[in-house]
C-alpha cells in the first residue's frame, strides 16, 4: 500500500514535470514562430527608389563575331543619375570662353547654367578664402582675448621640440638603453 502511494506520488511528479517541460517547449516554439511575421507579410522590405531605377540600353549583337570587344572609350550605363548630370554639365562648361559667352549653347542650356550657378563661377575663390581666413585670425574677438587672459594660451605648450627629442633618443641609444620601452611622454591638454 505504501509502495503504491509512493509510486502514485512519483508518477504524479514525473507527469507534472514533463507536462510543464512540454508547455515551456510549446511556448518557445510558438514565440519563435511569431518572430518572423514581418518577413512573411513583407513589412520590413525596403521598396526600390523610383529615382534610381534606370533604363538600360539593349544588348547589341555585332554583325561580325570576329570583332574585338569594345574598348573603354565606349560609355557604360552609370547607376548614379547624379554622375550623368555632372557629365552633362561638365560637357557644357568645358571651356571658360563658353561660360562667359553663351553663343554656342541652346536656350535650355543657358537657363540650366544660370540656375545651377555655373555662369557666376569665381575662379579666384581660393585666394578670397585665404584672405578672409587671414583677417579672421588677425582680428580675434574680445571674448577670445578675454578667455586667453583668464585661461592662458595653451596652443604652444604641448608641442615637442624635434631637436631635443633627437638628442634624447641619441643619448638613449649611446648608453645602450632602449628608448622605445622607456616611459612615453604624457600630453595633458587644457580644455578651452
Question: For 41, how many CA atoms within 13 A lie in the half-sphere containing its CB?
Answer: 7
pTM above 0.85, yes or no: no
Between 93 and 146, name the one with better pLDDT.
146
Contacts of 187 (CB under 8 A, 6+ apart): 158
**Average model confidence (pLDDT) for the chain?**
70
Could you read off the pLDDT of 15-31 as tens digits, one per residue?
Answer: 676 777 777 887 777 77
Q: Where are the domains of the chain?
A: 2-35
Residue 175 has pLDDT above 80, yes or no: yes
Cell of residue 163, nine digits: 631637436
Residues 102 and 108 sit within 8 Å (Cβ to Cβ): no
Could you read off the pLDDT of 46-72 as tens digits, one per residue?
Answer: 776 777 767 777 888 877 777 676 665
Amino acid at each position: 500500500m505504501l509502495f503504491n502511494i509512493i509510486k502514485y506520488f512519483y508518477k504524479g511528479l514525473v507527469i507534472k514535470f514533463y507536462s510543464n517541460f512540454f508547455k515551456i517547449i510549446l511556448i518557445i516554439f510558438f514565440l519563435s514562430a511569431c518572430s518572423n511575421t514581418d518577413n512573411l507579410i513583407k513589412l520590413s522590405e525596403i521598396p526600390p527608389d523610383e529615382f534610381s531605377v534606370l533604363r538600360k540600353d539593349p544588348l547589341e549583337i555585332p554583325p561580325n563575331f570576329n570583332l574585338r570587344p569594345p574598348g573603354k572609350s565606349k560609355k557604360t550605363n552609370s547607376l548614379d543619375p547624379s554622375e550623368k548630370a555632372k557629365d552633362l554639365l561638365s560637357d557644357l562648361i568645358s571651356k571658360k570662353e563658353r561660360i562667359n559667352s553663351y553663343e554656342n549653347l541652346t536656350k535650355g542650356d543657358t537657363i540650366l547654367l544660370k540656375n545651377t550657378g555655373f555662369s557666376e563661377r569665381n575662379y579666384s575663390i581660393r585666394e578670397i578664402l585665404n584672405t578672409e581666413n587671414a583677417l579672421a585670425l588677425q582680428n580675434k574677438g574680445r571674448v577670445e582675448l578675454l578667455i586667453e587672459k583668464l585661461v592662458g594660451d595653451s596652443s604652444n605648450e604641448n608641442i615637442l621640440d624635434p631637436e631635443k627629442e633627437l638628442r634624447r633618443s641619441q643619448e638613449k641609444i649611446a648608453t645602450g638603453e632602449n628608448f622605445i620601452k622607456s616611459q612615453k611622454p604624457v600630453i595633458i591638454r587644457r580644455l578651452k
